[in-house]
A and B are shown apart, each in its own frame.
Chain A
């Protein structure tokens, strides 16, 4: 037997198919098709959690996604622990293991419940008021303690081992919600042949037909009709049916985010299926059929386990075959709760009494209840309930006061009416309207969508299906569907949900201090909302933030309307005057896993590898990340640490030669009759007179006069420049050039092509560089006379095309060999073989940095920061003084840029040559001044230079070039370091080695 409260002849599950599960370590038996909630209720378990703030015992309020209380942790293994799973949504599988949350040491005895007794201190705005002072205590004392005591659930502490997937989809008509209305709309649209997607958050379609025992459609029970329609839709090639799929966000231009729970319901999902799938759907038309959510009654202790929504009790009975008690009471302000009472009575459950707040309610359901012999107390209220861990009685009183009567019960079903689910409509930026029935329904639409059925405020099955079928057909037609005769489902028997009440019921205010909950998840009572208004909150958005009503994952599904009504009452305003808060995405919580999908670990960001990456790996390179690139950082040999390896590499380059992979440099080919004119405009330097076959170091500015990028440019022909950029600047320099070419200088006949990935670049630097390259080159005279420093030649190396640059980023004789990327590694290997004959070393980016710093060559982005001019960097020589225009020419003469005292790039030599300064360290001119000291600059580059036998550094210092020889100070936590201001060149000041 799968639980003492399972009723033999009720529900749609197959009792023989049992599934065992544990809750808080105790083993229970349920039935396949159960939710964790229905399985626990079948076993008589109502107490499942403790509340967020007061740690009050809580049970199940609902049977669906609106559940605010029954949040549990589901764990499959040590890494797969999911907190805050709604037990009303989690499908049961054999072996499921669940744990209650927010309690210590146990669910029935929780120390945190002292918060409930101490609740006068925890009222609305408590966090804002109590923990304001002193400010410093917030970070160290209040926040950590609040976080450990409060909070919902515990985040898993291991990496998520599951995988998630993601899909984009397009359709003509997207139907959100698969109840009677959604299915009718999907059917109407599908019959026209357009592409339809229909999604529902539940495992099975049918919505409220799950509990509406009175519904009959097309000569069938309503639920059976729904399954029949789903089967038909699945059989149509133009329809995609997505169960277990929640539309959580409605974005611009009918873009809807949905999460499909693919395997959380399986006992053994295996590794082939993802846990969840994110759907990003763009639809021509959207049909919202999201239904309505029943409201609870707001009265004292309405949160006791066993007190639940009437429709939930009816769902547990009619779908799962579970009685939520043996002796139930009903407290209502509308008709639909009567149907629950009647169904329970028919199933053999005693209905102690129906308490109806209305005077003299009438109608067929009320007549049926009377005929079934159920006691009805109209014009009365339930003022409180007895029992703590489970409801045990209800106290009934005439609504305007009078004698009390206590009735024993073990469950209380309540209904204050139905709130249309306008969450997605509101997210679509539609404006709601408050209708005559005191409901917020879709008013003004902002997108191509339509609401149908209960979410549109439409009462009754027949009216909903009529409306939905017509809307589905219209949406399909607007999306280009063929007209069809249609086949509208015929409703034979109907259920109608009439109106209810908003706000607190008698006995819950305005002057009482009882805990009548409005928002169960955030522990907000009617009193809290009144207090918020008393303390000056006027806007509903302020009330929401002050009390936290309707915030967090709940998004006000059950609480919004009650909270609004209480606030409006206090303010003496009408509900529409006070207004509804904005609904935020997500409708229900979405895992980060689903959102990031495969984009994590190595797939988080693309990894770029150069053509020579494999060689570097084989030769023991340690790599560093430079943007998306993996670059060889240094090549340690046996026994070497980084310091030793870099020293050896730096010495080798200056002594013989070194090979360096410079392929990541950005490269752009500027071609066309106006190429030189274009270069004149984009760079500070003059280009018209640069001879073919020669190179020039170019500086690119932004219009404001600050350095944007730099690089060596070779002129291959009168109309063709091979431009190099920094590694990090490749894409933005290309964008910058295209921008000017397309929009400011469109008259220039120029074509720009990114060639960064087409050419591999091997830098060969050092006195032996020419000896290494020359034997492999054909068709290029590499003598100093024929090919001086800063020249470029085209020819062949190892039989493949090369653009051979003679240039140096080390200060030694050097070349950069460009070859088509596919030949990069082969040419590198050939050069390496030659290099070995001369004791050349392979060197990485660290040695490259040291070598260039020894020569005072800057790195844009390291020695400059977007506020450095060519003059600041000592590069005035590269600005064409005779030029009348280039990007940045006017910026350079701005008053601030020509003012005295600007920070200038200089060298720093520490007094103790062994001390290497920290990059980023601040520089002061008087170390004895009081703190905070006046900082006059900072260190931009700093290294140990084995070639100089000392540390070297570059720094941006205010008025730096006028401070040559001055001693400046770098204060560090443990000491103050003295350093002398010098020029930027530390090695071979005369520059003789370029031809050495």
Chain B
């Protein structure tokens, strides 16, 4: 069972308290009603599904109930870092070269 650091509670808590909520940094278009079919497809259906570093959303559902973002390595399953919802995608990751 993984330990996940909630950036709001500011401590590591067991995975049981959290729920994954899909890829992060996919903003809902403000003019969503007007976007093309292609753009809707990209927004709603297409996901990166990378091998390696993934940016994803988690919710501390059995805790403070806040949604936040996390950087995780899909190969090792390790969490690289977590940060609050709305904060920009980190440009530098601790412990990850390149």
Q: Are A and B genuine complex partners?
A: yes
Q: Which residue of B lies closest to A884 (CB)?
A: B33
Q: Is A625 an interface residue (CB 8 A)?
A: no
Q: Which residue of A lies closest to B19 (CB)?
A: A735
Complex Cα distance A255/B12, Å?
Answer: 14
Verify B32–A743 contact, CB threshold 8 A: no
Verify A744–B37 contact, CB threshold 8 A: no
Minimum CB–CB distance from B62 to chain A (whole Å) comes to 11
Verify B1–A704 contact, CB threshold 8 A: no
Verify B37–A885 contact, CB threshold 8 A: no
Q: Is A891 an interface residue (CB 8 A)?
A: yes
Verify B1–A251 contact, CB threshold 8 A: yes
Complex Cα distance A742/B7, Å?
Answer: 14
Which among A280, A885, A891 has the greatest number of chain B C-beta atoms within 10 A? A885
Verify B37–A894 contact, CB threshold 8 A: yes
Q: A255-B1, A742-B85, A746-B86 are in contact. Are A894 and B40 (CB under 8 A)?
A: yes
Residues in A whose Cβ lies below 8 Å from that of B32: 885, 889-890
Complex Cα distance A884/B35, Å?
Answer: 12
Verify B33–A704 contact, CB threshold 8 A: no
Minimum CB–CB distance from B88 to chain A (whole Å) comes to 14
Residues in A whose Cβ lies below 8 Å from that of B14: 282
Complex Cα distance A742/B21, Å?
Answer: 13
Residues in B whose Cβ lies below 8 Å from that of A253: 1-3
Residues in B whose Cβ lies below 8 Å from that of A704: 44
Complex Cα distance A282/B21, Å?
Answer: 26
Q: Which residue of A lies closest to B14 (CB)?
A: A282
Contact with B along A880-923 (1 / 0, CB 8 A): 00001100011100110000000000000000000000000000
Residues in B whose Cβ lies below 8 Å from that of A925: none
Residues in A whose Cβ lies below 8 Å from that of B66: 742
Complex Cα distance A583/B89, Å?
Answer: 37
Q: Is A738 an interface residue (CB 8 A)?
A: yes
Q: Is A143 an interface residue (CB 8 A)?
A: no
Q: Which residue of B lies closest to A890 (CB)?
A: B32
- Give the contacts of A230-281 with B (CB-CB under 8 A): 251-253, 255, 280
Verify B1–A890 contact, CB threshold 8 A: no
Verify A252–B2 contact, CB threshold 8 A: yes
- Give the contacts of A717-762 with B (CB-CB under 8 A): 735, 738-739, 742-744, 746
Minimum CB–CB distance from A344 to chain B (whole Å) comes to 48
Q: Is B65 an interface residue (CB 8 A)?
A: yes
Verify A738–B40 contact, CB threshold 8 A: no
Minimum CB–CB distance from A896 to chain B (whole Å) comes to 10
Verify A735–B33 contact, CB threshold 8 A: no
- Give the contacts of A525-545 with B (CB-CB under 8 A): none
Complex Cα distance A280/B32, Å?
Answer: 47
Minimum CB–CB distance from A173 to chain B (whole Å) comes to 18
Q: How large is the interface on B (under 10, 10 to 19, 20 to 34, 35 or more residues)?
A: 20 to 34
Q: Is A204 an interface residue (CB 8 A)?
A: no
- Give the contacts of A277-325 with B (CB-CB under 8 A): 280, 282
Minimum CB–CB distance from A730 to chain B (whole Å) comes to 14
Within the complex, which residue of B33, B59, B76 is in contact with A885, where a contact is CB–CB below 8 Å? B33
Verify A743–B86 contact, CB threshold 8 A: yes
Verify B65–A738 contact, CB threshold 8 A: yes
Q: Which residue of A lies closest to B35 (CB)?
A: A890
Residues in B whose Cβ lies below 8 Å from that of A116: none
Residues in B whose Cβ lies below 8 Å from that of A739: 21, 59, 67
Minimum CB–CB distance from A899 to chain B (whole Å) comes to 13
Q: Is A494 an interface residue (CB 8 A)?
A: no
Complex Cα distance A738/B28, Å?
Answer: 15
Complex Cα distance A280/B3, Å?
Answer: 14
Minimum CB–CB distance from A219 to chain B (whole Å) comes to 45
Contact with A along B25-50 (1 / 0, CB 8 A): 00110001101010010001000000
Residues in A whose Cβ lies below 8 Å from that of B33: 884-885, 889-890
- Give the contacts of B71-98 with A (CB-CB under 8 A): 76-78, 85-86
Within the complex, which residue of B3, B28, B40, B61 is in contact with A735, where a contact is CB–CB below 8 Å? B61
Residues in B whose Cβ lies below 8 Å from that of A895: 37
Q: Is A703 an interface residue (CB 8 A)?
A: yes
Verify A735–B59 contact, CB threshold 8 A: yes
Verify A890–B40 contact, CB threshold 8 A: yes
Which among A253, A739, A894, A895 has the greatest number of chain B C-beta atoms within 10 A? A253
Complex Cα distance A890/B76, Å?
Answer: 37
Contact with A along B1-14 (1 / 0, CB 8 A): 11100000000001
Minimum CB–CB distance from B43 to chain A (whole Å) comes to 8
Minimum CB–CB distance from A200 to chain B (whole Å) comes to 24
Q: Which residue of A lies closest to B29 (CB)?
A: A890
Complex Cα distance A282/B15, Å?
Answer: 13
Complex Cα distance A327/B78, Å?
Answer: 57
Minimum CB–CB distance from B66 to chain A (whole Å) comes to 7
Q: Apart from A253-B3, A744-B28, what 19 extra A-B contacts exist at CB < 8 Å? A: A252-B1, A252-B2, A252-B3, A252-B78, A253-B2, A255-B1, A282-B3, A704-B44, A735-B59, A738-B67, A739-B21, A742-B67, A743-B57, A889-B33, A890-B32, A890-B35, A891-B40, A891-B44, A895-B37
Q: Nearest 6 pairs between A and B by C-beta?
A: A890-B32, A742-B67, A744-B28, A889-B33, A253-B3, A252-B2
Can you report 11 A-B residue pairs in the complex whose CB atoms are below 8 A from each other?
Answer: A251-B1, A253-B2, A255-B1, A738-B59, A738-B65, A743-B67, A744-B28, A885-B32, A889-B33, A890-B33, A890-B35
